[in-house]
Amino acid sequence: MSPPPENPACSPSVSSTHEEFTPQERAILLRLARFSIAAALAGKKISLEPPSHHLAEPRGAFTTIYVRGELRGCVGYVSAVHSLYRTVAETARSAAFEDARFPPLCGEDMASLAVSVSILSPTYPIQPEEIIVGKHGLLISQHGRRGLLLPQVPVEHGWDRTTFLEQTCRKAGLPMDAWRMGATLEGFTAEVFGDQDVPA
């Protein structure tokens, strides 16, 4: 059984400086996200057969959607549960219709829809002093609670390292100093791209 998807605090897309994925692969994934949402609106199923070996690799990823410039959903998997291709399709659909923080998308939203994809590295233990704002995302866990913030979040909010740690604790529903009090802290990096980062 797949682990439940995460709902991180998401911010507008910040394009990664390290580009593992080509512009063509980015365009494929962004089109897939849109197609998955449109198919769900129409009550149709789509093929989840990856078009290349690279996109068939298991990867954790988040899909973030905006309507008229406003955040309307952000859902993903930290772990490499499925192929990247399937993960983007499923998280796009979930972000559009299952993010409890927002109403489900409707047909009229499609004309104003913008999509961003964050492809995650595996998580790894990290010490607070090793965290680089803008490079690392954070996953904190303690007492059965856990919270995740993507790497672009502190940049968009202008947070320093300490604030980033505190806000990740807050996202987990933990005391804001839990990172000092034995909580498990993991880092990851992400390649982040959106509609504005690929050729038309």
Q: Mean pLDDT for the chain?
A: 90
Instruction: Answer whether residue 12 shows pLDDT above 60.
Output: no
- The predicted model gives 7-16 an average pLDDT of 47
Instruction: Answer whether residue 11 shows pLDDT above 60.
Output: no
What sign does the CA torsion over 189, 2, 23, 99 have?
Answer: negative
CATH number for 23-121 (one of 3.40.50.720, 2.40.50.840, 2.40.30.10, 3.30.700.20): it is 3.30.700.20
Q: What is the pLDDT of residue 19?
A: 83
Which pair of structure tokens corresponds to residue 7? 């709902």
Q: What is the pLDDT of residue 199?
A: 55
Q: What is the pLDDT of residue 16?
A: 43
Q: What is the pLDDT of residue 65?
A: 95
Q: How many Å from the N-terminal Cα to the C-terminal Cα in the chain?
A: 38
Helix (H, G, I), strand (E, B) or coil at 39: helix
- The predicted model gives 125-152 an average pLDDT of 96
Q: What is the pLDDT of residue 115?
A: 96
Same fold, 23-121 and 124-188: no
Q: What is the pLDDT of residue 1?
A: 40
- The predicted model gives 46-64 an average pLDDT of 95
Give strand pairing partners of 148. Answer: 139
Non-local (6+) Cβ contacts of 139 within 8 A are 78, 123, 146, 147, 148, 168, 185, 186, 187, 188
Of 22 and 156, the structure prediction assigns the larger pLDDT to: 22
| Kind plus residue range of the DSSP H or E element containing 169 | helix 161-171
Give the residue from 143, 128, 132 showing the smallest Cα distance to 186. Answer: 128
Give the pTM.
Answer: 0.83
- The predicted model gives 85-112 an average pLDDT of 95
Q: What is the pLDDT of residue 2?
A: 46
Q: What is the pLDDT of residue 8?
A: 57
- The predicted model gives 132-141 an average pLDDT of 96
The structural domains of the chain, with segments of one domain joined by +, span 23-121, 124-188
Q: What is the pLDDT of residue 71?
A: 92
Domain 124-188 in CATH: superfamily? Hypothetical protein ph0010; domain 2 (3.30.1490.150)
**DSSP structural state of residue 121:** P
Query: Which of 15-19, 92-96, 110-114, 171-175 is least confident?
Result: 15-19
The helix/strand count (H/E) of the chain reads as 5, 8
